[in-house]
Structures are given as structure tokens and as C-alpha cells.
Amino acid sequence: MTAIPPPPAHAVERPRLRSRLDRSLNAPLSVVVAPAGSGKTVLLSQWAASHPDVRIAWIGLEPTDSDPRRLLDHLLRAASPLGHPSRDLGRPHAVNARALGRPVLDALVEEFREHGPVVLVLDDLHHLAGSSLLPDLWWLADNVPAHTHLIFSSRIDYGLGWGRHRLSHSLLELRQSDLAFDEAASAMLLQRITGAPVSPRTLSAVLERTEGWAAGIVLTGLGLRSEADPEQFASDLRGTDRLISEYLSEQALAQQSPERRSLLLRLSALDRMSAELVESVTPVDDATALFEELERQSMFLVALDRDREWFRFHPMFRELLRYRLRAESPAAATEIRTAAAEWHLARGDASAAIDYLLDAGSWERAAAVISGRGREVLERSDTASMSRWLDALPADFRAARPDVEILRGMLLMMNGDAARAEDVLREQDDRSPTPGRSAIVQTYLAARVQFRPDPRVGLQAADAATTTLREHPDLRPPELLGLTHPHLLLTSALTSAGRAHFLAGDLLAARRRFEEALAEPGAQYSLYRIHLLGSLALLEAWAGRVRLAARLAEEALDLAAETRLLAHPAPADAYLAAALVAIERGTPASASSALDEGALRAAANHRTQLMWIAHLERVLIGQESADPEAPVPPPPPPIVASALDAEEARGLRLSHASGRALPRPSSRHWSPLAFEAVAAALTHDRPDLARALLDGSSAESAESLPRVGVEQLILRSWLENRERGSGAGADGLRRALELASQHDLVAAFVRAGPEVMRMIADLPGTATPFRAEVLERASLLRHARPTSPELAEQLTDRELEILAYLPTRLTNVELAARCYVSPNTIKTHMAHIYRKLAVPNRNSAVTRAQDLGLL
């Protein structure tokens, strides 16, 4: 967020336009769309100054704000009166690399709702042209609270979403025709610039040539200062708006002394100017006095902050100055921008420095600064900017420098642009790199396992990297981002190997790789340790060692909190592991919060394989069906595909669907689908098939994979009961309960279905606490989704969850907090509930639900 820019000294008041802006405050959005130099910013700053009683947040956008993290930081600061947002969710380093995304937008709306009335001005919105952030801003305009008003100011008429606002809110649109200066305003503006009234004929000529375009009037006024025949000067102007602008700018420059003109040209090489910077890179001794003089002369200087520390030239004027500088002294532009880069570097602002170096064509220096950045790039999720800088280097320059291209591939992989990353890295691998470079390339090719299907490809690269690193203990790879020490590369490669085995369904091999990685010195790096512990926790939850998984997930999240990395994508695995722990303990309702957090972080850098895990967990807790249109790019990893097939088969089995072929596992390897195949055979009274499937499946160690041991004991007990009658299979069921109690495994019994639950209930002898817990949770889950035959359309699980809160009188905001969604989502669910219950309001919904037995 930037300060409201003060109007220039020569600015003319526009009461009619300010009145129109006043009348639009009850609507969510106003737009100001006109060409450059039309006076948009001046008008809005005047309007803001006339409303000291209104909290106005001003965001002056720049091209670099197309980075979602920078824009999000501006928006969050704008939402809070003190500039300190209350939420960590959606902080700049947790968002998707291309757009803000719905969860972050929901959090933004909540910030605006909590902090009260505000007018948010987004000035120079045209700097986001072509950005995928624009739909996010239209969504924000559609969903801001009633007390929030947005003003979009832009050179470009995007038109997206404005039609709805025209119909619903009488959208205020100020365009070039509205902003054009009339005769009286033009006369006043010219008099303030020239210091004397202009004649009617001169004024008429100016208006004819400029059509009230503010910049044209200003430029004309500057030229009129020293003209002996102002009427002739104005009448002789010809050409399009752009040509008039260039001509008048030249006339403005012609009025300056050769020394001042040369200085203006040199200053134009700077994107932003402070007194200290200008005094460092130019011969100016008192830059503060210079800025004051340039403002007095209306030399298109714009203050960027209320303290008037930073300035820039008006873009149109700056472009003209730069054009002249390049034509007259191209070496001067390079010299100044290089000096500015070093100035910013000395103050720790590497981002500004790199931009200057790239613009100066200082490729070697830019590449050195980019490559010399450390791990904080990854920890702060600044990898998107790094990729942009490397892409700006000429292709032939990069091609001759393998370390630069390898770094580019690393960053593309970190950003989730895995396809491009793989192309870049494989090209380097094909060039017969040194063992050190090969280790880096293979390590980051292995990381593809998180982003692309077929884990075998990632496993092959991980094994190649591991072999290289172990065969060359004295390896010295190039230093890139502080991430290419052999210890770190080996830890990363082993972690990727573990993930590949896990996604392929080989849990024992995955565990070995994760444990090897944890034993490496590189695992002491906090970010890698968070990744590792989370991945191992996810594996252990899947294997059925639920208590261990809970401890590992907690350790990972505690470390993330301690190192301020909770909002980073790294804890995604740990959050999803915590959600799976809740599911396996038979408490799926408590999984929602961790699941949402994990899914958000997995999506932040496009880790599609983890996104599939999140989708599966949503299926398991009833938020999604087992066979939707793909929520993420298909295909799912093998371990998820098998589980989704199993869930679909279980739904058919428990609904007693007939006429469907019984599921068949694709291999002897035990899997959720193998469990369902045996359960389906027993449900359909095929004990012979069930026994054949059980006997043909691999037997796993109950200690290593307790879920497999529990599931197989359940099925053999069920089979024995079917073959020998009531009471048979009791011993096996007791062993299953005993094994499950050691790990908090409840869901395995619930998944088996009502027949197994009856067997547990009928077990002779005193019930153990764990047996009672299994029966209780099964009962709760069985009744967790009540239905009513009187309803034509049944309520979903989420709608029933919200329905249960309605008698509490919680507000929509409070309900949103309880359910980890936005208030707008709550409103949507409420509308669906009212429609399905055929009621008009909340009180009626409670009464109707009680009558139907839903409450």
C-alpha cells in the first residue's frame, strides 16, 4: 500500500466529478478509465483530500505488482487501518505463483469485513494488463462487504465483470469524455502554469488541439511560457495525441538550460528517485531542492509517498526523456542504471538492483547477483521473481552458462512449472555435465515427483542423483542459492525417492528412503526437515501407524511455526497427514481444518500429486464424490487411484447395488481396492472368492503396516463367520481390535460395514474401551448424515453440518470461522438449505428441520 499522492500545485478542482464519486460510495465499485495524462490520479487524490472522515487506502500499482505476492501484500495492508493484517493465511509467500486463489481472496474479504469501512483505490491498474490477477480483482469487487468501496483507475478498459455492476449497482464509470477539461477548467489550468491569463483565441486553439486532454493542456502551458505568439504556437499544433505529446514535451525540454536538460535526461534512467539515490548517481548536490524546483516547474514529477521521499517522472514524460537519452548518450543510461543497481545492492534491495542491471544489459553482473542469492529466496517464496529475471537474460547468454540454466531449471521446478523445468534440466543433462552439475540436475529432476504423474520417472532421477553423490564423496557442485551442498542434494534426492515409492504404493520402500534422508546432515535444514517429517507422517498415517503419524505431523508443524514457515508450501504434507490421522481415528469432521490448510499449500506451487491426496481425503470425509471430473490434472498417482476406486466400490457395496461386476485388484500387493474386493465377495455371499483373494494377497508385517494387518484380520474373521456361522471368527476380530488399539485405527472397522460392526457388538465378554470406542464412532458416523423421505433433494454433508449450527444463532461470519470457509460460501450453503427445505428464512429452516428429524 502506498500513500495518497498529493495533488500538484497547479491542479484545478473538479467539483462535478468529485460529486459523482461521492454518490457512488454506496456501490461496491467505481471505475475511472482513460488514456495516460487524462488526470485520473489527480482527480482521485483531490477527492480523497476532500474526505478526511473516510478511511481511504491507496495502492499505486507498478509493473512489478503483477507478482501475486506483492499485490497481496498491498491488499492485506490496505484492509487493516494500522497496516498490520490479522491473518497469516494468504501472506505473500503462501499463494499460488500466478494468481491469488479463492482461499486467499476469502481471507481478504474477511480482513475488509473485520476492519470496517474503507475506500480502496487501485491506481494505474493497467500495469496488470495480461495478468491472471485481474479475475481475482473482479471477484473481489463482486464480494467485498457492504461497507467497502473499490475504485479502479486504469488506462485500459478491461470491461470484465462491469456489466453486472451496471445492472445491480448503477456502476459509476468516468471516462475520457468525463475527465476532459472544459473551457473554464482549461483556462484556470493554463493560467496557473504560465502565470498569466490566456486569450480566448489561445484557449480555443488549445482545446481544439487537445480536446481537453489534461496532459496536453499542461504541456501546452509549459510551451506557452516563453512564446512571443502564444496563439500561433497553439494553432500550429498538429498530429495525433501521441505526436502532440511528444512535440509539447520537446518544447518543454527546449525551455531548459543545456545543463538542466542533460540532467533530466539522465534522471529519466531511474525508475524511482530519492534524494540519496540521485545524489549518489548524478552530480546533484541537493536533490531535495531539485525535486522542489521540478515540482514548481510542473516537470511531471510525481510524489510516491506522503513523506515525499520517493518520486518518479510521469511515465509519458519519462519515456520521451529516455528516448532522447538513448539517442544522444546510450552509454549514460547504462552507466546510471548500473550505478543505481549498486546503490540498491548496498542497501540490501537486490530486487531493484537486478531490474536495473537487466535494463542496463549488464548480463554478467545480473546473473552473478541472481545466482548469489541464498536460501531465503526459497523460504520467502520469491522464486517467481527469480524465474522472471533469469528468463529476461538472453537465451544465447544463458546457453553458454550451464550454471545459470541449471538454476533456471531449479527455480522453475520450485514454482511448480515442472514441464518447463524438466525440459531445461534434461537439456543440461544431455550436454554431459560434470558430476557436480549432474547431481544437481538429477536431484531437481527427481523433484518432479511432486508435480507430474508417473512416480517412476522421478524415482529414476532420485536414484541417479543418490548414486552420483555417494560415489563422489568429495564432490563440489556449483553453489546455487545455498541449496547445492552435497548434504542438501542427497537429502532432497532421498526425500524425492521416498515420495516416489509412496505415490507408487510401496510404503516399506518409501519409509526406508525417508529414514535414510532423516539420517543425513542435510535434514537439519529446517525447510527440508519440515518436508521430510510431513511426508513421513503422511506415509505412517496411510500405513496405519496413526499415533506415530500424529507425532511426526505435530513435530513438522511445530518446527514450521518456530521458523515462521507455517504459511510456506512446505508444511502441506504435515497438514494432510494430520487430516488423514483424524480420518483413520474415525473423526473425519475434525479433519476439515488441516485438510483445507494442506490443500491450500499444495496448490500454492502446483504440487498436483499432493493435491490428489487432498482430493482423496475430501472423498473420505464426504466433501466430494469418488469419481468427479478431475479436480487437478489427471492421472492421479497410483496410490490415490487405487483408493478412489476402492471408495467407489465401497459405496456400491454398502448401497447393495446389484448387477455390477465385483472389483478385482490389479496385483497381489495389498491395497484399499484389495480390501474392497474381498469385502464385496463376502457381501455377495462368495466366500470361495473371498478366500482365494485373501490367500493370493501378500501378507505384510503387522508391525510395519498395521492397517494391512488389521484389514486382513477383519476380513478373515468375517470370512470365518460366513463359513461357520454366528460366533465364528471372534478370536481373529479380537486380535484385529487389539492391534488397531495400539495405533488408534478405527476407520478400518467402519469401512468394513454394518455386518462387521454387528460381529464386534456381539463379541462375548467384557467390552474393552477401544471396542466401545469403535462402536460409538461407527454409530456416530452412521447417523452423521440424516435424510428425510419428505425431501425431494437431500441435504449434503456440508449443508447438514451448517444446519446443525442454525439453532445456536451464530452469525454468518462466526459460522464461516467454524467451518473454515468464507461468509459468502456460508451464504451459498444457506440458500441451498432454504431451497431444499422450502423455507424463507433461518427460523423457518430450524423448525422445518426439527419436524423432519434432521435436527
Domains 362-505 and 797-852 agree in fold: no
* Distance, CA of 115 to CA of 406 (rounded, Å): 46
Closest CA to 641 of 629, 651, 627, 624: 627
Task: List CB contacts of 737: < 8 A, sequence separation 6 or more.
Answer: 749, 760, 768, 770, 771, 774
Q: What local confidence, expressed as pLDDT, does residue 226 receive? A: 65
822 and 758 in contact (C-beta within 8 Å)?
no
Instruction: Kindly report the CATH number that applies to the domain delimited by 15-179.
Output: 3.40.50.300
Q: What local confidence, expressed as pLDDT, does residue 243 receive? A: 40
Tell me which residue has cell 531437481. Answer: 444
**Class of 362-505 per CATH?**
mainly alpha
Provide the residue ranges of all domains of the chain, joining segments of one domain with +.
15-179, 183-254, 258-361, 362-505, 525-631, 638-779, 797-852
Phi-psi region of 348 (alpha: psi -120 to 50; beta: other; left: phi over 0): left
797-852 classified as CATH 1.10.10.10: yes
Q: Is 651 exposed, middle or buried (0-12, 13-18, 19+ CB in 10 A)?
A: middle
**Which cell is 559 given?**
518446527
Closest CA to 140 of 192, 176, 102, 114: 102
User: DSSP label at 2?
Assistant: B
Neighbours of 162 (CB within 10 A): 18
The pTM assigned to this predicted structure is 0.66
Tell me the residue type at 521: P
- Spans of the chain below 70 pLDDT: 1, 82-98, 159-169, 209-211, 226-252, 254-255, 296-298, 300, 314-316, 625-631, 657-661, 666, 780-790, 797, 808-809, 817-821, 853, 855
Q: What local confidence, expressed as pLDDT, does residue 241 receive? A: 35
Q: Mind giving me the DSSP string for 504-557?
A: HT-HHHHHHHHHHHHHSGGGGSHHHHHHHHHHHHHHHHHHT-HHHHHHHHHHHH
Alpha helices in 762-822 (DSSP H): 769-782, 797-805, 812-819
Q: Is 288 exposed, middle or buried (0-12, 13-18, 19+ CB in 10 A)?
A: middle
* Distance, CA of 603 to CA of 393 (rounded, Å): 28
381 half-sphere exposure, CB direction, 13 A CA radius:
25
* Distance, CA of 105 to CA of 111 (rounded, Å): 10
* Distance, CA of 24 to CA of 152 (rounded, Å): 13
Peptide bond connecting 453 to the previous residue in cis, omega within 30 degrees of 0: no
**Which cell is 714 given?**
477383519
Q: What local confidence, expressed as pLDDT, does residue 199 receive? A: 85
Q: What local confidence, expressed as pLDDT, does residue 240 receive? A: 31
